[in-house]
A = this chain, B = another copy of it.
Amino acid sequence: MPTIKDVARKADVSVGTVSRVLAKNDTVKQPLKLRVQAAMDELGYKPNLAARALRTNSIDVIGLVVPDITNPFFAQLAKDIEKEAASRSHSVMLANSDDDLETEKIQITALLDRSVRGVIVVATSDSNHPYEADVPIVSLDRRLGDHALVSTNHFDGSGQIADHLHQLGHRRIAYIAGPDTMDVARRRREGFVTRIKTLSTPDDPIELTIHAGQFDYDSGEEVCREILAETADGGDRPTAIAAASDQQAIGVLRAARDLKLDVPGDLSVTGFDDISLAALVVPRLTTIRQPTAALARTVIDRIFEPAKAGGDEEISGDLVMRESTASL
């Protein structure tokens, strides 16, 4: 591997000059610059990034820690972040925390030790430990300690779902919430409830029931069965079930099928997230698409310009209307 020294010798200049053209420092005059570039091309010179890192105390790498990369939402986020980082010629170092606080800590520390440019973390559910570092640490989707959070506007997204169901004529609606310990779950529930309250009038009231659940598939199925069992005899079965996550919604779909309820004929169902599975199930799921590309762009901006960073930032998702909802 040729070094900067070889290039300098070949171009008959000092290493400082070579370094300056490398840094796109336009203090180097045209003829010299050309000579240096020719020498670099000829030798196939590539800067040694470790040496540069040692000098500048920073490398063109961004750390990303997620609870579990096999979660489709996090995978999509990782992909968008990698693309965004690449467009600024940075690489990304990936780490899984397995949703474990201790592992998360180890991973973040390891990343920091490598003097990355900054680290993005989707925190474990119960994470609240703040980290100190001389590079930006920003939380994504789920807050880490007291670090600024970039996330989807869950409140607004749920509101969009409420609007959608209301427009379709639904007036008896069940909402399956996520775990109350999670901020995301609370925001989604609050957004839904708030919007429904606004839409409900004495003349045209909406009956809303809230049901506690987990974010996963099985929980959706189970809670749906409970809801339908309670209302099996009467005609007071909800005409729509809004789930706090796509996985729950898919569980609902499954329960409905087992109970011979047609979706959306007998029951409208909505999710949240727009995981890839949402478009594959039968019927395809109406849901809120999380703006992963915008989230990625924003969070990377935070890394590069921490100064401009205000506090938290929420980005609205889009309603994706598919086949699991219909008008009454």
Contacts and interface: CB of A to CB of B under 8 A. Distances in A.
A145 B110 CA distance: 33
Contacts of A59: 50, 114
Contacts of A277: 277, 280
A328 interface: no
Interface string A91-111: 111111000000000010011
Interface string A207-228: 0000000000100000000000
A79 interface: yes
Contacts of A107: 86
A61 B114 CA distance: 10
A72 interface: yes
Interface string A40-55: 0000001011110110
Given A70-B79, A78-B69, A93 B93 contact: yes
Instruction: Give the size category of A's interface with B.
Output: 35 or more
A113 to B, nearest CB: 6
Contacts of A50: 50, 53-54, 57, 59, 114-115
A76 interface: yes
A246 to B, nearest CB: 11
Contacts of A86: 95, 107
Contact of A75 (B57, B75, B92, B282): B75
Contacts of A49: 113-115
Contact of A72 (B70, B250, B257): B70
A143 interface: no
Given A59-B50, A250-B280, A282-B257, A79 B68 contact: yes
Interface string A17-54: 00000000000000000000000000000101111011
B70 A82 contact: no
8 contacts: A49-B115, A50-B54, A68-B79, A69-B75, A70-B276, A82-B96, A91-B95, A92-B95
Contacts of A61: 93, 114
Nearest to A89: B110
Contacts of A302: none
A107 B115 CA distance: 21
Contact of A94 (B82, B111, B114, B276): B82
A154 interface: no
A289 interface: no
A82 B57 contact: no
Contacts of A54: 48, 50-51, 53-54
Given A57-B50, A69-B75, A76-B70, A110 B96 contact: no
Contact of A91 (B75, B76, B110): B110
A187 interface: no
Contact of A78 (B72, B94, B254): B94
A133 to B, nearest CB: 11
Contacts of A217: 280
Nearest to A280: B217
